[in-house]
Structure formats: C-alpha cells, structure tokens
Structure 1
Amino acid sequence: MEDMKIQKAWPNVKIRYGAWPPRLMSKKYNSPTEWIPPQKGCIKANFDGATQPGGGLSRVGVVFRDHNGNIVKLGAQHIKQGTNNEAKAYAAWLATRCARNMGIKKLHLEGDSLIIIQAIKNGQIKSWHLQNFISLILEDLNHFEEVMVSHIKQEGNTEADKLTKWALSFNQIEDTFFEDFDV
C-alpha cells in the first residue's frame, strides 16, 4: 500500500524537478575535504578557476597527480574576463583537453565547483553561457578508457586553488606563469 502512495507521488515530483524517475539527492552534499590519490594507473586532474573581485582578470589552474600523489604536470593560464563559474568550467575543459593530449587513459577529474561537477555528470547545465564548456568537456571525456568525475570541497582542492590564486595575483597578462599545456 505504501508503494502505491509513492508511485502516485512520482508525477508530482517529475513536474517539480523534471526527471523521471527523479535522481534523489540529499540536501547535504557529502564531499571529501581531503585530497585522496586516484587508483593505481589513473591520473587525477584537480582544477580551479577564479576571477578578480569586480569582474577583473580570470585565471585557471590545473594539477595532474598520480596514485602516489606526485605531480605529473601543472599549470595556470589567464582567460578573458568572466565569472567564477566560467573560469571553473574553462579549467575543467583545460584539464580534459590536456589529459587527452598527454595520452592519459584513465582520468579522475575533480574540482570544488559543485555546479560544474553536477553539470558534467548530468550532461547539461541551465546556464547557456556555460553549456559550450560542458559540451566540450563531455566530448573529451568520451576519449578515455575510464573516467571518474567528483566534487571535493575547497579545503581538499588546495593545490589547484593555490596555483589559481597565485596566477591571479599578477595584474599583467604577460606576467602570468604559463605551462605549455598543448591544448
């Protein structure tokens, strides 16, 4: 009898949330606060992006590490002015594109933007100006043998966060550190 009540309630849930059956998520998203190494044979790419207050310059940072926590590659880039979400989406795309160009087979993509991570996992985002980045990321992810995408709280994304903030501290674009990312 209880099952019948739940089944009758699904149409209301569908109308409200737009999914059938809906993906039930708790209101509290439990993400790790410490960086955890990827599985052996996998490379983890942590990404971050930031914009100066008032909509100034934007910078992105990506750190690739192996299962021992050793840095395989890292770098920071400037991007045109935009929002923090645009910077984070660009950083995620930069991570996937670089991983492809590096010949990585097993990728674990991790960032501290829940909006971007959920958009990648769902394959879409409501914000039209971020959809192009999400589409490019999804296209890149199809080229890996294995992919894991996860959210980490900012406290656990410290290396990418520090790299991005370091790059953001430069006012002139030509003063910014650029790693050859082979994009």
Structure 2
Amino acid sequence: MPKGVALRERSWSLPLVSVLKCNVDATFWGSDCLTGRGVVFRDHHGSIVHMVVLKQFPSEAFVLRAAVLLAKRFLFQRICFETDSSIVCEAVMGARVCPVEISSIVFDIQTALSCFPEAKISRVSREANSLAHETAKLSTPILQEDQILTRIPKTLLMKAR
C-alpha cells in the first residue's frame, strides 16, 4: 500500500477506455445545515452511466462505501473511485492510521474493493469532484431511500461537460 496519497487532479478528467470513474461526495449546505450524499459514475467518454442521490448521512466514508457496493451491484469490473477526502482516501489505502469512528466502514470498503478485478481510489480536488458535490445537494429532508436518477437534471448535465 502507498505511504501517502497525493492530490491527483485539479479538474475532472476522462478515465481510460473500458474504465469507469466514480466520484463521491457528502455535503452540508444552507442555513438549515441540510446534508446529502452523491455518487456519479461516468465512462471514458465522460457520459453519465449512473447518478445516485443517497439518503442523508454526512460522511465521506459512508458515501464511498455506498458507491463501492453500488459498483459491485452494477457488476462493474474496472473502476476508479475519486473523493476529495484525504482522510478517507488515506485510511482506505492504508497510508494513515484509520480514525476509530470510521474503522468498520473503511474495513467494509477494503473488503468490497477486493472483489473487483481492477479498482483504485484517488484523492482529487473539490473542483474535480464538483459534479458529485452538486449531486449530493439533490438529497432532501424528505428523501426516504436512495435514488438512482433516471433523468439527470439539466443543470447537472451542463456541469458534467
């Protein structure tokens, strides 16, 4: 396992052919401190394969675990997960001592990642992760279950380009 996780990208970039890229984010916004989690899977053309709004629970580790389990459920084979959380990225990669609060979640992520023929995790800047951040904002206080979006909002399609 690597001993450190460097910031890889300042802007979003296409994955290699036949590799999917999955960006995840958990966010807080508004005066009511609303929270949400977003997951965006894109192919090597930059096209959105799946966009998911998850029930409210503000944790980068939780959303990464959900994304890894979704990728497994979708039977994806080659995938790169991206997060703007250095703590979670480094903990999953074994590059830092895992905070006790997320140790069981990190273990779940590591176990699920081992099921993929090819999977990696990278830390990216907030700018490179902006589509997942905006997707997380689609979560509302009345969201009762995770939602795979069948229609991508036009405002997010513009940001995906």
Q: TM-score, normalised by structure 1?
A: 0.71
Structure 2 contact 39–51 (Cα < 8 Å) conserved: yes
Please name the residue that 2:27 is paired with: 50
Alpha-carbon separation, structure 2, partners of 1:131 and 1:55: 29
List alignment gaps of at least 5 residues for structure 1: 1-21
* 2:79 maps to 1:102: no
Amino acid in the other structure paired with 1:70: S
Alpha-carbon separation, structure 1, partners of 2:108 and 2:29: 25
SS at match of 1:149: strand
Number of positions where the alignment pairs a residue of Structure 1 with one of Structure 2: 148
List alignment gaps of at least 5 residues for structure 2: 150-161
Per-residue CA distance 1:70-121 (angstroms, 9 max, x = gap): 10001111234xxx5xx11111001100000111110101011111111111
Superposition CA RMSD, Å: 2.7
Please name the residue that 1:178 is paired with: 147
Higher RCO structure, 1 or 2 (CA under 8 Å, sep 6+): 2
**Structure with the largest fraction of strand:** 2
| Identity level (%) | 23
SS at match of 2:15: coil
Please name the residue that 1:34 is paired with: 11
* 2:77 maps to 1:77: no
Please name the residue that 2:83 is paired with: 111
**Structure with the largest fraction of helix:** 1
* 2:116 maps to 1:159: no
Which of structure 1's runs of 4+ aligned residues deviate more than 6 A? none
SS at match of 2:44: coil
Q: Which has the larger radius of gyration?
A: 1
Structure 1 contact 123–134 (Cα < 8 Å) conserved: no
